[in-house]
Amino acid sequence: MATTPTDGVVYACGAYELDTRLHELRRGSEPQHVEPQVFDVLAHLFARRDRVVPKEELLDAVWGHRYVAPTTLNSRIKAARQALGDDGTAQRVIRTVHGLGFRVVADVVERTAAATGGPATLEQHIRFATATDGVRIAHATSGTGPPLVKPANWLTHLEHDWESPVWQHWLRELSRDHTLVRYDERGCGLSDRDVADLSFDAWVHDLETVVDALGLERFPLLALSQGCAVAIAYAARHPERVSRLVLYGGYVQGALTRARTAEEREEAELVMRQMPLGWGRDNPAFRLFFAARFLPEGTPEQLRWFSDLQRITTTPEIAVRLRSTASTIDVSELAPLVRAPTLVLHATGDAVIPFDQGRLLAALVPGARFISLESRNHVLLETEPAWARFTDEVRRFLAADDDRAAVTSRSPRPPRRSAPPTRSRSG
C-alpha cells in the first residue's frame, strides 16, 4: 500500500515564499525563522488576499476560542510585516484598514507545494507482520538508504500521521538519509485493536517482530517518549543488533512508578479516570486538553489533528490499558546494560515528561551524550529553533556511525526466536 502526503500551498510574494506544507517561510531558498502564530497569520491573510480580513476572524483562525489581548494580535501583525521586509509605515504587503481589519495589498501568486518537486514525492509502503501471539502489527517504510528504526510511541496511526501537520516534518526528516521503519503498536492505528496482551514485554516483542520480518541485522534506533523505554529494553536484549541509539523526550520510569507524593500519584491516575468519559465523545474538550499538554505552542490546526489522532487511533478502553502499562514502566535496571553509542535529547519545558527524566536517562546509559532543547513542546514543531537543533544533532550523530556500511537488509525470513524476556519492573 502506498500513500502520498496531502499537497500544501505555496504563496509567492516578491522575494518570499510561504509554504504551508513545510510550514516554512523562505527568502529565495533560505528558510526564515517566524513564530508559529506569525506564520498562521500570514497564511490566513494570503489565502484571503482578495478581501479585508476582520480582526475577529483572524483571532478565531489563529487562537481559536482562547482569549488574547488586542496587543497580541498587533504584535503578530508587526512581526509578520517585519518577516516580509514590510513595516507599519510603508504597509507594502499588509495594510491596516482602520476599524475593520487587515488586507494583503502586494501581489501574491499561489501554487501547490507539490509543484516544487520536493518532499511531496515521498511515499510510504505499509505491510503487516504477525507476532508470536498472532497479533498483526502494521509497519511502514519510507525513504531510501540504510535503515533507521523508530519504535512505536504513544498512539500512532501510520496513515493519519503521514498527512498530519504535527508529524509530517518528522517523517520527512527521518526519511531523508535513511529507510525509515516505523509501526503502530498493538491496539492502535492499523495494527490489531482487539488484543489481550498490552504489556511492556509485548511492546518489545512487537519491535522484534517488525525488524525480523524485514530481515534487518544491525541498525540504529530512534525513539520518542514511551518508545524510548522499548528501545532501551531491545538494545539491552540485543546489543549485537543496535548500532546507535537516539532517545528524545523519554523516561526511565512511568508516571505512577516515579510518583513520590500523593499529589503526583493522584495526577497520574486522574488522566486515566477521565479517559473513558472524554476520549470518544463528539465534544473534543478533553482531547484538546490532552493535545495542549503535548503541543502547548501548537497552532489550532495542529491541536485539531492531534485531537483527531487520539479519537481515530484507538478506543477509550484500549487507551486506558495502554496508559496504565506506560505509567508503570521502569527500565532503570536495563538502561545500564545498553552498549550502543547513545544520544539523549529532552525539551526543557516538556509538560508531558519531566526534564529530570531525560537527565536520569542520560545518566544511566553508559557514555550517553545529553542535549537539552529550549522548547515547551513534547512533540517538536518545525518552526521552532529546537527542531533545527534536534535535526542537526541527530543527523551528525547518525552519520558518524562507523558500522553504517555493515547495516544490511536481507530478504524477509521467518521471525527468529527471541531470547527469554528481560522484564521491566513495575511500580
Lowest-pLDDT range, 203-212, 327-336, 417-426? 417-426
The dotted CATH code for 9-115 is: 1.10.10.10
**CATH architecture observed for domain 123-406:** 3-Layer(aba) Sandwich (3.40)
Torsion sign (Cα): 302, 304, 308, 310: positive
Report the C-alpha gap between 173 and 148 in whole angstroms: 11
pLDDT for residue 273: 67
At residue 282 the predicted structure's pLDDT band, cuts being 50, 70 and 90, is low
pLDDT tens-digit map of 133-172 = 999 999 999 998 999 999 999 889 999 999 888 999 999 9
Give the up-direction half-sphere exposure of residue 421: CA atoms within 13 A in the CB hemisphere.
Answer: 14
The set of cell numbers assigned to 292 is 495542549
Question: Between 231 and 22, whose confidence is greater?
Answer: 231
Instruction: Name the CA radius of gyration of the chain, rounded.
Output: 23
pLDDT for residue 374: 96
Short-list 226, 231, 223, 229, CA closest to 248: 223
pLDDT for residue 248: 98
Torsion sign (Cα): 312, 317, 323, 325: negative
Task: Return the DSSP state at 421.
Answer: P
Terminal-to-terminal C-alpha distance of the chain: 41
Question: What is the percent of the chain with per-residue pLDDT over 70, rounded to a whole number?
Answer: 85
pLDDT for residue 409: 40
> Strand order of the sheet with strand 179-183?
2-3, 124-130, 136-142, 179-183, 147-150, 219-224, 242-248, 342-347, 369-373
At residue 285 the predicted structure's pLDDT band, cuts being 50, 70 and 90, is low
At residue 416 the predicted structure's pLDDT band, cuts being 50, 70 and 90, is very low
Mean pLDDT of the chain: 86
Provide the residue ranges of all domains of the chain, joining segments of one domain with +: 9-115, 123-406
Report the C-alpha gap between 246 and 240 in whole angstroms: 16
Question: What is the percent of the chain with per-residue pLDDT over 90, rounded to a whole number?
Answer: 56
pLDDT for residue 30: 79
CA dihedral 274, 276, 278, 284 (to 10 degrees): 130
Report the C-alpha gap between 33 and 40 in whole angstroms: 13
Let me know: does 315 contact 280? Beta carbons within 8 Å.
yes
Cα 373 to chain centroid, rounded: 15
At residue 405 the predicted structure's pLDDT band, cuts being 50, 70 and 90, is very low
pLDDT tens-digit map of 295-329 = 999 888 888 888 888 778 888 889 889 989 999 99
pLDDT tens-digit map of 20-61 = 888 889 887 778 888 888 999 999 999 999 999 999 999 888
Report the C-alpha gap between 298 and 210 in whole angstroms: 32
